[in-house]
Structure 1
C-alpha cells in the first residue's frame, strides 16, 4: 500500500492527463514473493511496462506512421508463464551475459570455477539466473523523466562468482520524446567480472506479428567475434565485410536468412556478437531498425562495445504472448548491448573485470520515431 500511495503522489504532482506511474499487483511467485507491475506513461502517450520479477521489461507501446500505438516488446501473459520460461523474455541478465568457455576463468592468478551446463560452459551466469529473482524497486519522477530503480544484491559465491555485487538498473522513460533508457550501475567488495544486459525481444510491427520480413537493420559494427562449435569466442575479431553480418548499410535480415551460409548455420539464424566501430565507453547510436509496414523506427544508442544480435532462431510455438499468438521462429529479434562473451578468458577483448572502489556504469537507450 505504501508503494501505491507513493505512486499516487507522483502522478498528481502537476502532470496532466494519464501521464505518470501506475502500479498494479502482478501475483506472487511459487515461493510466495509478491510481484508488482509498473506502467510508465509519458507526455506523448508512450508507455513502458515492467515487473519486479527479473526486473523484466514487458511492454513498450509506440506509435506507427498513423499514430496508432502497439506494444513492440514480445511478452508473456502472466507471472506463471515468466516463471516457467527459459527464454529470459525482457529480463536483466547477470552476473555474466553470454558464454564463458570451460565454465572457468583466471583472475589475479586465481582460477574461478563456475557452474557448467551440459556442454561444459557457463551461459548467462548460470543458475540461479537474475531473471528468476524478485528485485527491489524504487519509483521516481523528475522534470524530464519518470521510471524506477531496481536493486539486486548478489552475495559472494552467488552463481560461483566471487565478491558481493550490488547491481542497480534504472528504467527511465523520457517525458517529451518516445525514448526509454536502461542504466546500469554496480559495485563489488572483491575482484569479480560483470557483464549485464537486457534480454528483450522486439518486433516493430507489434508483438505477435509474424516474422521480421518488413524490418531493415543498419548496425554500426565492423567486426564480429569468431566462435567455436559451442559458440564460444576463439579470440579472433573478424571483419564483417563480405559476410551476412555486414549491416553497415540498411538490409533485411530475413532476406539473408534465405541464402545458405556456413556463418548462419542450419537452420539459419543470426546469433552473433557484433563489435561496434565507436570510441570505447562513448554513448553513440549503434543501430537503426526500420519496419516498412508500420513506419516505426528504433534507434539504439549505447556505451557498450558490442551487442548480441539474435533473430529468435529457437522459437518453436510453445510459448504464447499476451496477443494470443504463439511465437514462431524469427518472430522477433534481440539486440543485447553488452561486452563480449568469454572476455574473462580473452585478454584482447575489452575487460569485464570490476574491482572494489570502482563503479561499473553503462547506458543503453531506445528512441522511437516514424518514417513515411
Structure 2
C-alpha cells in the first residue's frame, strides 16, 4: 500500500516526528492482510495518525495551554483490539451511518430489505461493517496539506444494499494550521442510499482522561430528531429550547447528566441527532468544544445537515486504551457529522438517495486552537 511518494517523504523526513508522512507496519489481520499506520506531521508539529483497518483515526495531537501536545482521540492498543471491538473507534461508517427503522426502505418504488439486528432495525449499515475492512490507500502531499486517500468498493448487495458503490475518503492535515479534514466522495451504478461518518471519540483533556466535567459544548443546532423506543426517528424535528439538548450557548454536558431527564434516559446520556442551523451543503462552523483544564478548543465545520452527539454512555471499562487506562462511561464524546438516521423512510428529512451519474460529496473539518 505504500506509495512511491510516501517512500520519498520518509527518506526526506528521516524519522516519524519530522514534518511529512511516516508509515510503519501496524499488524496483520486474522485473515492475513497487512495493515499499516500512517502518521502525518505538519509544520506546526501537529500529528494525525490512522490505520488501514477501517480507515481508522487512532491519534490527533493538539497543543494545550502550555504548548505541550496531547492526543485527544481515544484509541485501542493494537490491531487485535480493533478487530475484537464493536465500538467502531475512529473508523469510517457506511453504507448508512445511523439507524434505518424496520431494516427496510423504499426508493423509486422498490422496497429494499436490509439485515435486521435483534431489535428489528439496521444500524451503521449492518454486517460486515466498513470498520472491519482493510481499505486501499494512496498518500499525497501538496503545497497546503499532506494526507492519504482511502478507497473502498462496496459491491452490489453488500450489507443488502443495492448498487456497486465506489467510496473515496481523504484524510487531509493542513500544513500551516492545526486542522484536519475528512472528505468523502461516492458514486454508484444503481439507485441506493448512503450516509457516511467518522466514529472518533474525543477527550480534549487527553485520551485516557476521566469524564467530561471540564468540557464546554457550543453546538449550532436548534432542533433534534424525536425518536421511538428503539431510537429510530418518528419524523418529528422538535425544538431544543428548554431541553438538555440546547447547546446554542456554551454549556456543560456533564452537569446535565447529573439529574434525571426523560429525554436523556436512565442512566442519562446524550445520543441524539441534532439538526444543524446552516445552509444546505455549505461548509460552515457548527460546534465549538472547549476543555477548561487543558485549554484546548476544537472547532468543527461540516457540509452535513446534522450530527449525532454521543457521550460514550455504553463505555463499561472493558476496553483499554494505549495509555493503559480503561474507558468508563462518559470518558469521551463523539460528534458524528452526517445525515439524519432513517432518512430513507422520512420524506421530510434531507434526502440520502444516490443515483447513477450523481456524485456524493461531503467535508468535515476539525480545527484545534488554544483558549
Q: TM-score, normalization: structure 2? A: 0.98
1:315, 1:329 within 8 Å by CA — same for their partners in 2?
A: yes
Which residue matches 1:90? 90
Which residue matches 2:148? 148
Q: Secondary structure at the match of 1:209?
A: coil
Structure-2 separation of matches of 1:259 and 1:240: 18
Structure-1 separation of matches of 2:309 and 2:149: 26
Q: Secondary structure at the match of 1:268?
A: coil
2:9, 2:22 within 8 Å by CA — same for their partners in 1?
A: no
Structure-2 separation of matches of 1:14 and 1:132: 31
Structure-1 separation of matches of 2:12 and 2:350: 44
1:213, 1:254 within 8 Å by CA — same for their partners in 2?
A: yes
Q: Secondary structure at the match of 1:231?
A: coil
Structure-2 separation of matches of 1:316 and 1:190: 41
Q: TM-score, normalization: structure 1? A: 0.98
Pair 1:10-2:9 in alignment: yes
Which residue matches 2:354? 354
1:92, 1:199 within 8 Å by CA — same for their partners in 2?
A: yes
Q: Secondary structure at the match of 2:171?
A: strand
Which residue matches 2:118? 118
Structure-1 separation of matches of 2:78 and 2:42: 24
Q: Flag structure 2 segments of 5+ consecutive residues without an equivalent.
A: none
Query: How many residues align structurally?
Result: 370
> Offset at 1:7?
1.6
Pair 1:203-2:198 in alignment: no
Structure-2 separation of matches of 1:182 and 1:250: 25
Structure-2 separation of matches of 1:348 and 1:198: 25
Structure-2 separation of matches of 1:56 and 1:34: 15
Q: Secondary structure at the match of 2:32?
A: coil
> Offset at 1:8?
3.1
Structure-2 separation of matches of 1:125 and 1:342: 11
Q: Secondary structure at the match of 2:2?
A: helix
Q: Secondary structure at the match of 1:10?
A: helix
- Cα-to-partner distance string for 1:128-157 (whole Å, 9 max, x where unaligned): 000000000000000000000000000000
1:11, 1:19 within 8 Å by CA — same for their partners in 2?
A: no
Q: Which runs of 4+ in 1 moved over 3 A?
A: 11-17
Which residue matches 1:262? 262
- Cα-to-partner distance string for 1:276-334 (whole Å, 9 max, x where unaligned): 11110110000000000000000000000000000000000000000000000000000
Structure-1 separation of matches of 2:206 and 2:188: 39
> Offset at 1:260?
1.1
2:218, 2:250 within 8 Å by CA — same for their partners in 1?
A: yes
